[in-house]
Amino acid sequence: MRILITGAAGFLGSHLCDAYVEQGHEVIAMDNFITGNPKNLAHLAGKPGFSFIRQDVSNFIFVPEKVDAVLHFASPASPNPKSPYGYTNLPIQTMKAGAMGTHNALGVAKANKAKFLLASTSEIYGDPLEHPQKESYYGHVDTIGIRAVYDEAKRFAESLTMAYHRFHDVDTRIVRIFNTYGPGMNLDDGRVVPNFIQQALRGEPLTIYGDGLQTRSFCYVSDLIRGICALLDSNEHLPVNIGNPVENTMIELAEAINRLTNNPAGLVFKKDARVGDDPQQRRPDITRAKTILNWEPLVSLEEGLLKTIPYFERAMK
């Protein structure tokens, strides 16, 4: 296959490029480097089958060759208002990537009769009232909250993807990605795993927002990429949750990272950093992925953190 990957220099986009180049496919990587990092693709430059186009997906996308699949991963994705990459600091670009970017990427898929895969998110469930979250849950989202620029853009992107599937018969897939971590995350991404690991490596206390009892479920990147590849290979057009169903509080995560890095500095609690818009719990119900894709995560949190810590050690130098 020749595969167009938008957001290719991002954390997940770059791992997808690696996976598909390794499987012997041709990859056309696309990114405008607003939040993507060229370092994530540097090792692929010059490899047979790999090419790169610098482009903002919210403008018309011209691809010089026929493509067999389009994977739309371009979007800011960090909710942290303190990060320069946070979508609350890039609100218009985030809505454009989800709306116009998805429209353009779907247009490429339609013109090429190619498969299309949308990177959607657990954020479409908002601050969920149903737990764990099944794909059938409609979500609990504030249309004007600070996270809305991301959540609503992705909800629109899902609707547009289904419209292209139903109306134009495009062969679409939708993956709802839950919290994922691993090598390749930006140092100033601002999400919890990069923050905690860097604080721990500097011997500082880990900053817990709120009471630390809020939960997330963390999936190691190799498990996630395997799930996405399986979804692309499947015939499933409805959304599929991909994530790790093991749920941890932020205190448990912080304590694990302090233990694995031998950081004696402990934890520090900071109030109200996310101004009441922080989902209190999040865990995927992965029954659909298990049944349809025969997929489930294999890497435990401890194993995944042990693979991620050395990346941050190198990147911080």
Kindly list the catalytic residues: 150
216 binds ligand UDP (CB under 6 A): yes
Q: Are 176 and 120 in contact (CB under 8 A)?
A: yes
Buried b / exposed e over 105-139, threshold 16 CB at 10 Å, is: bbbbbbebebbbbbbbbbbbbbbbeeebbebebeb
Structure-token pair, residue 108: 């490429």
Selected from 142, 204, 277, 278, the binder of ligand UDP by CB under 6 A is 278
**Binding mask 73-112 vs ligand UDP (x if CB under 6 A, - otherwise)?**
------xx--------------------------------
The beta-carbon contacts of 158-165 under 8 Å, at least 24 apart in sequence, are: 158/118, 158/120, 158/124, 158/239, 160/99, 160/102, 160/103, 160/106, 161/102, 161/106, 161/116, 161/118, 162/237, 164/106, 164/109, 164/110, 164/116, 165/237
Return the residue of 3, 71, 153, 208 that touches ligand UDP, per CB under 6 A. 208
Minimum distance of ligand UDP from residue 152's CB (angstroms)? 15
From the list 172, 186, 214, 263, which residue makes contact with ligand UDP (rule: CB under 6 A)? 214
Site string (234-273) toward ligand UDP, x via CB under 6 A: ----------------x-----------------------
Interaction of residue 281 with ligand UDP, rule CB under 6 A = no
**Among the listed residues 195, 217, 258, 261, the single contact to ligand UDP using CB under 6 A:** 195
209 binds ligand UDP (CB under 6 A): yes
Residue whose structure tokens are 């903002």: 56
Question: Residue numbers of the site for ligand UDP (CB under 6 A)?
Answer: 79-80, 179, 191-192, 195, 207-210, 214, 216, 250, 274, 278
